[in-house]
Structure 1
Amino acid sequence: MRVSQLYVYPIKSLRPTTVNEGILTPRGFQYDRHFMLLKVLPAEDGSDTTTLKNMHVPHFPEMALFHTDIEYPQTENDSGKVIVTYHPPPSEFGPEPRERKRLEIPLQPNTKTLNPLTVTMHQSPTTGYSMGAEYNDWFSACFGYPVILAYLGPNSREVLGTLAPAKANKNSALRGIWNIVTNKTTDKKREWFLPVLVVAFVANILIQAYSFIRQGKTPQTASSLLPALLAPVALVLYYMLHAQPEDRITFADCAPYLVISETSVDNVSARLPDGTEMDRTKFRPNIVVSGAENAFEEDFWSVLTLGSEKTRLLLTGNCVRCQSLNVDYTTGKMGTDESGTVLKKLMKDRRVDKGAKFSPVFGRYSFLETRGSGTNLKVGDEVVVAERGKKRTVLDWPGLTN
């Protein structure tokens, strides 16, 4: 299998930036979902107090009218740009395209000049920063109501539920030990794991033997040395299994990466009228894989290795789907033809996750092993299924509304 498409979403829920290569980090592709939009809601009592509502494309389908591109930094003094282009929907008075609007946003704003605000997504809060009037007013004019463009800055959010690998595997102590020894750890721990154990054993044998000799005693059985030998081993194992780096995310819903299969997209296209292809970007993927033999076989993928460096991607849970699949990307409204029935079509046979019995599944939430951070993933890179699950994963996520 191969990587066929890569997508970065600099601003959550807007159209993606298609890239030929991207830098992998534990929190997603570099610059992925570092911005998001918030609708300003006036107080019901008429006071000056306002509240902010997170904007997501299933609830604000007009977000699909905004296209994004990224100009990556070229020098140390270059902060880069996010370029947003607003494509107004066709006029009710004729099919002629209306004038497009363009906005350039610094890719890495200076947060010292911005006002902080609290952003809570799916019960996981963080601090963001309002980008200010220049950018907020531009988006407000396009949407027709007041909005705020928020920047994440250096902050992040906690991964709730059991999607994070450290939480999903917290009861698998023996598996954790095995992964450390067989070079399947998430960092450099294996390099010193075995040497530390060897040193601990040898040191304790020498210390205990010297102690017995000084006391004029001869150990009759190995059991007399057992407590001293097990103590350092237990200490090292406890540290190795519990000192795992915490998984954090940006403004992504609940995982840093979403992986989908071209074969599964083709299966959805086959459910639509002849000549109609499913727009894969409606699934909001980061990594699209081609060459899978069967549709939806990714339901059982547990670990993928990517590229020549065999970077490991851990697939921990299913992505359950909502009305965003039915959005018409041309009009910025829910589709009124067959494209507006995609969610219903998937309901027939894709409600396969017991943790989300009323939602269809398409794609897999994924996390990068820490030692793969900084790897450059390219379109065309090889993808190998390193591990498969024997049974389906069950989604355990507090943000689930089923």
Structure 2
Amino acid sequence: MQLLDIYIYPIKSLGGIRVEEANLEERGLQYDRRWMLVDNQGDFLSQRKHPKMAMIQTNLSNNKIEVFLKNHVEENITIPFEPLSQEMIPVSIWDDEVIGQVVDRKINQWFSDILGFSCNLVHMPTSTERKVSSKYAAKNESVSFADGMPYLLIGQASLNDLNNRLENPVPMDRFRPNLVLSGGHAFEEDDWDKVKVGDAVFKITKPCARCVMTTVDQTTGKKSKEPLKTLSTYREIEGKVLFGQNMSLLEGNKIKIGDYISAYKK
């Protein structure tokens, strides 16, 4: 087995970026979900309620994030890695409330104009620690603005298995993984306890429960019933539809496409 793809999603719920290599951090891949859009109450925004967010693409370049509309690249803005504002506000993501740093009011206005309602872009400063639930933490680690865990792994064979059951196959971007592996068998990762990628070692913490976000076409921003409808027919356990494995980092500093993968079963 080898590492087939690496994806980073700098701004939560916006378009992701495939990279050739990535630095590993406790909270997740470097730059992954370190920024997040929130409403005026500080609650996080996602494609679950706002599928149009799928149409906003990101790119990393020279210590900044380039953001643009997929079908209108002239609609774009540049976001510096270091926020221009010193304003700190409380923000909520699921059951967690943490402090986010407002990036810049002009940038807030750009996103508000695109989405059609008032919102703020916040950055997660290093002073903010959002701890992984003690039920799943490997070593009391923190996580970024991701839903709950620092890393998400999916086997390409698992997606192939799903697509063989679908009338219209879907790409991997529906599931927003960080790491995609080639080789192995469909859903083989269900039985793993630890996985070694190159020199890095990860702890498998729990399966990833999927939601309606998987039904948002990342090229059009439109919702349908698939692939969640089909996936639920054979991957539903205790009321949750499972696809992919959440992970925490145990050791290692970097991964790259082509790294060999070895797994340790439970």
Distance 2:73 2:88 in 1: 34
Contact 1:26 1:247 in 2 (8 A): yes
SS in structure 2 at match of 1:118: strand
Normalised to the residue count of structure 1, the TM-score between the two structures is 0.64
**Residue of structure 2 equivalent to 1:70:** 60
Aligned: 1:103 with 2:77: yes
Amino acid corresponding to residue 27 of structure 2 in structure 1: R
Distance 1:140 1:87 in 2: 17
The structure with the largest helix share of the pair is: 1
Distance 2:64 2:73 in 1: 22
Stretches of structure 2 lacking an aligned partner (at least 5 in a row): none
Taking the TM superposition and a 5 Å limit, the aligned residue runs for 1:363-402 are: 363-369=244-250, 371-372=251-252, 375-385=253-263, 387-389=264-266
Aligned: 1:306 with 2:187: no
Distance 1:361 1:346 in 2: 8
Amino acid corresponding to residue 245 of structure 2 in structure 1: R
Question: Could you tell me how far 1:99 is from its partner in structure 2?
Answer: 6.2
Aligned: 1:248 with 2:147: no
Distance 1:9 1:108 in 2: 17
- If you compute each CA radius of gyration, which structure gives the higher value, 1 or 2? 1
Question: Could you tell me how far 1:250 is from its partner in structure 2?
Answer: 1.0
Residues 39 and 2 of structure 1, relative CA distance in 2, 3 Å threshold: same
**Correspondent of 1:297 among 188, 192, 195:** 188
Taking the TM superposition and a 5 Å limit, the aligned residue runs for 1:108-257 are: 108-109=82-83, 113-154=85-126, 155-166=128-139, 246-257=140-151
- After superposition, the C-alpha distances for 1:184-241 in whole angstroms (9 at most, x for unaligned) are xxxxxxxxxxxxxxxxxxxxxxxxxxxxxxxxxxxxxxxxxxxxxxxxxxxxxxxxxx
Distance 1:344 1:30 in 2: 33
Distance 1:117 1:11 in 2: 17
Contact 2:8 2:16 in 1 (8 A): yes
Contact 2:138 2:248 in 1 (8 A): yes
Question: Could you tell me how far 1:114 is from its partner in structure 2?
Answer: 2.1
The structure with the largest strand share of the pair is: 2
**Correspondent of 1:86 among 60, 69, 78:** 69
CA RMSD of aligned residues (A): 1.5
Query: Sequence identity of aligned pairs in percent?
Result: 32
Distance 1:287 1:121 in 2: 23
**Residue of structure 1 equivalent to 2:227:** 342
Distance 2:136 2:186 in 1: 23
Normalised to the residue count of structure 2, the TM-score between the two structures is 0.95
Contact 1:87 1:100 in 2 (8 A): no
Contact 1:67 1:86 in 2 (8 A): yes
Aligned: 1:263 with 2:157: yes
Question: Could you tell me how far 1:344 is from its partner in structure 2?
Answer: 1.0
Distance 1:279 1:103 in 2: 27
Question: Could you tell me how far 1:13 is from its partner in structure 2?
Answer: 0.6
Taking the TM superposition and a 5 Å limit, the aligned residue runs for 1:317-332 are: 317-332=206-221
Distance 1:53 1:123 in 2: 11
Aligned length: 265
SS in structure 2 at match of 1:4: strand
Question: Could you tell me how far 1:125 is from its partner in structure 2?
Answer: 2.1
Distance 2:121 2:154 in 1: 29
**Residue of structure 1 equivalent to 2:50:** 60
SS in structure 2 at match of 1:58: coil
Amino acid corresponding to residue 146 of structure 2 in structure 1: A
- After superposition, the C-alpha distances for 1:160-190 in whole angstroms (9 at most, x for unaligned) are 2511114xxxxxxxxxxxxxxxxxxxxxxxx
Stretches of structure 1 lacking an aligned partner (at least 5 in a row): 41-50, 73-79, 89-97, 167-245, 390-402
Distance 1:106 1:265 in 2: 35
Question: Could you tell me how far 1:100 is from its partner in structure 2?
Answer: 4.0
- After superposition, the C-alpha distances for 1:52-97 in whole angstroms (9 at most, x for unaligned) are 331011121111001111115xxxxxxx011111135xxxxxxxxx
